[in-house]
Copies of this chain bind each other. A is one copy, B any other.
Amino acid sequence: MISVVIYEDNPQFREGLTMLINGSDGFSVLATYKNCNNVAEEVKKWSPDVVLMDINMPGTDGLEGLKKIRAVDAEVKVLMLTVFDDNKNVFEALRNGANGYLLKKTPPAKLLEYIQDATLGGAPMTSSIATQVLKMFQVIPQTKNQDYCLSERETQVLQLLVDGFSYKMIAAELFIAIDTVRSHIKKIYEKLHVNSKSEAVAKAFKDRLL
């Protein structure tokens, strides 16, 4: 038996969900709430398998609710419900440990399937949400891995610069003379086309050199 707690401010949708779930074999609604104001205690009290959490609610909204749940319980499966696939909310919800993200227009049969999926360790999401997630992947980590052909030693020195070491400290760290450090750094600047320490550091981050 899969136990569910529902957070949803719209009474009709809340009732509809409850009837659907309670009317299905193997599913049971333990409680429903119209806001997340006391979500931490409520989830602790009922220990449901799955929480259905509306995103848009007056008072504490679904995202805040999710955070509060995760602060006290890392195990319970939380499925976010939303009308629109709002990019920012999707991202934030997934970042904060939501187990899935469903549009409210999901057909009832699918919804039950998704709930079950979540209890089995899956991460159900409607395909439009999944599409958004993929887009985030494509945008975020551009591997513009330009290669400046830094030698091993140069890479090492650059790493220390990034870590905030002064020339003197680098020399001590690598057991070489400070003038040697200068030599390396001069070469690094040439290769990176910069002429100051902070530019080199910035470039190391921007171009993910380390």
Q: Which residues of A contact B (CB under 8 A)?
A: 91, 94-95, 97-100, 117, 120-125, 127-128, 130-131, 133-134, 137-138, 140-141, 143, 161-164, 166, 194, 196-202, 205-206
> Quick one: which of B100, B127, B164, B194 contacts A199, CB cutoff 8 A?
B164
- In the A-B complex, the 7 residue pairs with the closest CB atoms: A122-B127, A123-B130, A164-B199, A205-B205, A123-B131, A94-B137, A198-B201
- CB contacts (< 8 Å) of A128 on chain B: these are 121-122
Query: Contact between B202 and A164 (Cβ–Cβ < 8 Å)?
Result: yes
Interface residues of A, dominant DSSP: helix
Q: Smallest CB-CB separation from A98: which chain B residue?
A: B134
> Quick one: which of B125, B138, B201 contacts A202, CB cutoff 8 A?
B201
Which among A137, A140, A200 has the greatest number of chain B C-beta atoms within 10 A? A137
> Quick one: which of B130, B141, B196, B198 contacts A130, CB cutoff 8 A?
B130
- CB contacts (< 8 Å) of A138 on chain B: these are 94-95, 97
Query: Contact between B202 and A141 (Cβ–Cβ < 8 Å)?
Result: no
CA distance A177 to B129 in the complex (A): 52
Query: Contact between A202 and B99 (Cβ–Cβ < 8 Å)?
Result: no
- CB contacts (< 8 Å) of A166 on chain B: these are 196
CA distance A164 to B198 in the complex (A): 6
Q: How far is the CB of A155 from chain B (nearest CB, A)?
A: 16
- CB contacts (< 8 Å) of A199 on chain B: these are 164
CA distance A138 to B99 in the complex (A): 11
Q: Smallest CB-CB separation from A123: which chain B residue?
A: B130
Q: Smallest CB-CB separation from A114: which chain B residue?
A: B127
- CB contacts (< 8 Å) of A133 on chain B: these are 123, 133, 137
CA distance A199 to B166 in the complex (A): 10
Q: How far is the CB of A129 from chain B (nearest CB, A)?
A: 8
Q: Smallest CB-CB separation from A127: which chain B residue?
A: B122
28 inter-chain pairs at a CB distance below 8 angstroms, sorted by A residue, are A91-B137, A94-B134, A94-B138, A95-B137, A95-B138, A98-B134, A99-B134, A100-B130, A121-B127, A122-B127, A122-B130, A122-B131, A123-B127, A123-B131, A123-B134, A124-B130, A125-B130, A133-B137, A162-B198, A163-B202, A164-B194, A164-B196, A164-B202, A197-B197, A198-B200, A201-B201, A201-B202, A205-B206
